[in-house]
A and B are shown apart, each in its own frame.
Chain A
Amino acid sequence: MIAALIGLPLLGATVLLLGGRRTNVWGHFLAVAMSGASFVLGAFLFIQMAGKSEEEREVGQHLFDWISVGAFQVPFGLHLDQLSIVFVLLITGVGTLIHIYSIGYMEHDPNRRRFFAYLNLFVAAMLLLVLADNYFLLYVGWEGVGLASYLLISYYQQKPSAATAGKKAFIVNRVGDVGLSLAIILMFVTFGTVTFEGVNAAAEASSPNTITWIGLALLLAACGKSAQFPLQSWLLDAMEGPTPVSALIHAATMVTAGVYLIVRAHAIFDLSETARTAVVIVGAITLLLGAFIGTAKDDIKKGLAGSTMSQIGYMVLAAGLGPVGYVFAIFHLLTHGMFKAGLFLGAGSVMHGMHDDVNMRHYGALRTMMKITYATFGLGFLAIIGVPPFAGFWSKDEIIHAAFSQSLIIGMATLIGAGVTAFYMTRMMTMTFFGEARWEDDVHPHESPAVMTIPMIILAFGSVFGGMAMLFVGDIEHWLEPITGFAKPEHSVSNTVLIPITLAVVFGGALFAWLRYGRRPVPVIAPSNVSFLTRAARADAYGDALNESVFMRPGQYLTRSLTWFDSKAIDGLVSGLAAAIGGLSARARRLQNGYVRSYALTMLGGAVLIALVLLLVRL
Chain B
Amino acid sequence: MNGESVVFWVSGTFAIVGALGMVASKKAVHSALWVAFAMINIAVLYFALEAPFLGTTQIIVYTGAIMMLFLFVLMIVGVDSSDSLLETIKGQRLLAGLFALTFGGVVVASISSTLASPSAGLAYANAGYGGHMQAIAGLVFGTYLFAFEVLSALLITAALGAMVLAHNERWSPRKTQDQMQRERTLSNHVTPLPAPGVLARNNSVDTPALLPDGTTSIESLPTAFRGEGQVTKAAEIDEAAK
Interface residues of A (CB under 8 A from B): 593, 595, 597-598, 601, 604-605, 607-608, 611-612, 614-615, 618
Contacts and interface: CB of A to CB of B under 8 A. Distances in A.
A605 B99 contact: yes
Interface stretch (B6-14, B44-52, B106-114): B106-114
A601 B106 contact: no
Contact of A608 (B89, B103, B109): B103
A224 to B, nearest CB: 74
Contacts of A612: 102, 106
Contacts of A593: 89
A601 B92 contact: yes
Contact of B92 (A598, A611, A618): A598
Contacts, number: 32
A487 to B, nearest CB: 100
Interface string B87-111: 0010010011001101100110110
A-B complex: 5 closest residue pairs judged by Cβ atoms: A611-B106, A604-B99, A608-B103, A608-B102, A608-B99
Contacts of A598: 89, 92
Given A601-B99, A611-B110, A615-B109, 12 more contacts: A593-B89, A597-B89, A597-B92, A601-B92, A601-B95, A601-B96, A604-B103, A605-B99, A608-B102, A611-B103, A612-B102, A615-B106
Contact of B110 (A604, A605, A607, A618): A618
A507 B103 CA distance: 115
B3 to A, nearest CB: 34
Nearest to B101: A608
Contacts of A608: 99, 102-103, 106
B163 to A, nearest CB: 25
Contacts of B99: 601, 604-605, 608
A601 B93 CA distance: 10
A210 B117 CA distance: 95
A604 B100 contact: yes
Nearest to A612: B106
Nearest to A603: B99
Contacts of A611: 103, 106-107, 110
Contacts of B100: 604
Given A615-B106, A615-B110, A604 B96 contact: yes
A363 to B, nearest CB: 93
Interface residues of B, number: 12
Contacts of B89: 593, 595, 597-598
Nearest to A598: B89
A499 to B, nearest CB: 107
Interface string B32-46: 000000000000000
Most buried by A among B95, B96, B99, B109: B99
18 contacts: A597-B89, A598-B89, A601-B92, A601-B95, A601-B96, A604-B96, A604-B99, A604-B100, A604-B103, A605-B95, A605-B99, A608-B106, A611-B103, A611-B107, A612-B106, A615-B106, A615-B109, A618-B110
Nearest to B110: A615
Contacts of A618: 110
Interface string B65-107: 0000000000000000000000001001001100110110011
Nearest to B103: A608
Contacts of A595: 89
Contacts of A614: 110
Contacts of B92: 597-598, 601
Nearest to A616: B106
Contacts of A601: 92, 95-96, 99
A611 B92 CA distance: 21
Contacts of B106: 608, 611-612, 615
B103 A607 contact: yes
A610 to B, nearest CB: 10
Contacts of A607: 103
A310 B107 CA distance: 101
Contacts of B102: 608, 612
Nearest to A595: B89
Contacts of A604: 96, 99-100, 103
A601 B89 CA distance: 11
Contacts of A605: 95, 99
A604 B99 CA distance: 7
Contacts of B95: 601, 605
Contacts of B109: 615
A615 B105 CA distance: 11
A374 B96 CA distance: 109
A593 B88 CA distance: 12
A614 B107 CA distance: 10
B81 to A, nearest CB: 19
B109 to A, nearest CB: 7
B209 to A, nearest CB: 38
Interface in B188-240: none
Nearest to B107: A611
Nearest to A619: B113
A591 to B, nearest CB: 12
Nearest to B100: A604
A598 B92 CA distance: 7
A594 to B, nearest CB: 10
A429 to B, nearest CB: 98
A603 to B, nearest CB: 10
A604 B92 CA distance: 12
Contacts of A597: 89, 92
